[in-house]
Structure 1
Amino acid sequence: MVVWSTGTVGKHAIAVIDGHPGLELVGVWVSSEAKEGQDAGRLAGLDRDLGVIATNDRDALLALKPDCIVHAAMTDDRVPEAIEDLIAFAEAGINVVSSGPVILQYPYGVLPDDYIARVDGAATKGGVSLHVNGIDPGFANDALPLAMTSLSQRIDELRCQEIADYSTYYQPVVMSELFGFGKPMDATPPLVVPQVLTLAWGSVVRQLAAGLDVTVDEPLDVRVERVAADKDYSTVSVEIPEGTQAALRFEVVGKVNGVDRIVLEHYTRTHSDQCPDWPTPAEGDGCYRILISGEPHMAVEFTHHGEHGDHNVSGMIVTAARLVNSVPAVVDARPGLITALDLPLITGKGLVTS
Structure 2
Amino acid sequence: MTCRVVQWATGNIGTHALRAVVRHPDLALAGVYVYAEDKAGQDAGALCGLSPTGVTTTRDVDEIVALGADCVLYMPRLCDLDVVCRLLSSGANVVTTCGEFHHPASMAAEVRDRVVAACAEGGTSVHSTGSSPGFISEALPLVLSSTQRRLDTLTVDEFADLSYRDSPELLFDLMGFGRSSTDLAGRVAHAQAGFGPSLRLVADALGVPLDALRSHGEFATARDTTEIAAGTLRSGTVAAQRITVEGVRADRVLLRFRATWYCTTDLTPAWDVRDTGWQVTVEGDAPLDIAIRFPVPLDTIASVTPGYTANRAVNAVPVVCAAPPGIRTTVDLPQIVAALG
What TM bracket, shorter-length normalisation? 0.7 to 0.9
1:58-98: CA deviation from partner (whole Å, max 9, x where unpaired): 211211111111011112xxx5xx23322221122211101
CA distance in 1, matches of 2:87, 2:173: 29
In the other structure, the counterpart of 1:268 is 261
CA distance in 1, matches of 2:133, 2:215: 17
In the other structure, the counterpart of 1:212 is 206
1:343 CA displacement: 0.7
In the other structure, the counterpart of 2:118 is 122
CA distance in 2, matches of 1:181, 1:4: 33
Alignment of 1:130-149 (within 5 A): 130-149=126-145
Q: Is the 8 A contact 1:159 1:264 kept in 2?
A: yes
In the other structure, the counterpart of 2:191 is 197
1:153 CA displacement: 3.1
**What SS does the corresponding residue of 2:307 show, helix, strand or coil?**
helix
1:145 CA displacement: 1.3
CA distance in 2, matches of 1:172, 1:74: 21
1:305 CA displacement: 4.7
How many residues are matched? Answer: 335
1:108-159: CA deviation from partner (whole Å, max 9, x where unpaired): 23x3222222222222222101011100000111111110111123211111
Whether 1:160 and 2:156 are equivalent positions in the alignment is yes
Code of the aligned partner of 1:153: R
CA distance in 1, matches of 2:45, 2:113: 38
CA distance in 2, matches of 1:308, 1:222: 29
Q: Is the 8 A contact 1:106 1:206 kept in 2?
A: yes
CA distance in 2, matches of 1:14, 1:308: 24
1:163 CA displacement: 1.2
In the other structure, the counterpart of 1:14 is 18
- 243, 250, 254: which one aligns with 1:257: 250
CA distance in 2, matches of 1:152, 1:255: 19
CA distance in 2, matches of 1:95, 1:274: 47
- 64, 69, 79: which one aligns with 1:66: 69
In the other structure, the counterpart of 1:85 is 83
1:288-343: CA deviation from partner (whole Å, max 9, x where unpaired): 22110011210222233569974443321021111111101000001011111111
Whether 1:336 and 2:326 are equivalent positions in the alignment is yes
In the other structure, the counterpart of 2:103 is 106
Structure 1 residues 72 and 174, CA gap change in structure 2 (3 angstroms): farther
In the other structure, the counterpart of 1:294 is 284
CA distance in 2, matches of 1:137, 1:161: 12
CA distance in 2, matches of 1:94, 1:176: 41
Q: Is the 8 A contact 1:178 1:189 kept in 2?
A: no
Structure 1 residues 132 and 231, CA gap change in structure 2 (3 angstroms): same
Structure 1 residues 307 and 290, CA gap change in structure 2 (3 angstroms): same
CA distance in 1, matches of 2:130, 2:17: 12
Q: Is the 8 A contact 2:101 2:126 kept in 1?
A: no
Q: Is the 8 A contact 1:120 1:337 kept in 2?
A: yes
**What SS does the corresponding residue of 1:135 show, helix, strand or coil?**
coil
Code of the aligned partner of 2:205: G
TM-score w.r.t. length of structure 2: 0.88
Instruction: Say which is worse superposed, 288-297 or 129-138, in terms of deviation.
Output: 288-297
Q: Is the 8 A contact 1:157 1:260 kept in 2?
A: yes
Code of the aligned partner of 1:38: Q
1:175 CA displacement: 5.6
Code of the aligned partner of 1:252: V
CA RMSD of aligned residues (A): 2.7
Name stretches of at least 5 consecutive residues in structure 2 with no aligned partner: none
1:186 CA displacement: 4.9
CA distance in 1, matches of 2:144, 2:122: 35
In the other structure, the counterpart of 2:316 is 326
Structure 1 residues 247 and 307, CA gap change in structure 2 (3 angstroms): closer
TM-score w.r.t. length of structure 1: 0.85
**What SS does the corresponding residue of 1:131 show, helix, strand or coil?**
strand
1:225 CA displacement: 0.7
In the other structure, the counterpart of 2:293 is 303
**What SS does the corresponding residue of 2:242 show, helix, strand or coil?**
strand
Q: Is the 8 A contact 1:177 1:190 kept in 2?
A: no
1:181-205: CA deviation from partner (whole Å, max 9, x where unpaired): 4566254552124xx4322211121
Code of the aligned partner of 1:105: H
Q: Percent identity?
A: 32
**What SS does the corresponding residue of 1:293 show, helix, strand or coil?**
strand
Q: Is the 8 A contact 2:155 2:258 kept in 1?
A: yes
Code of the aligned partner of 2:201: Q
Structure 1 residues 187 and 256, CA gap change in structure 2 (3 angstroms): closer
CA distance in 2, matches of 1:29, 1:176: 32
CA distance in 1, matches of 2:157, 2:322: 32
**Quick check: which one's strand share is greater?**
2
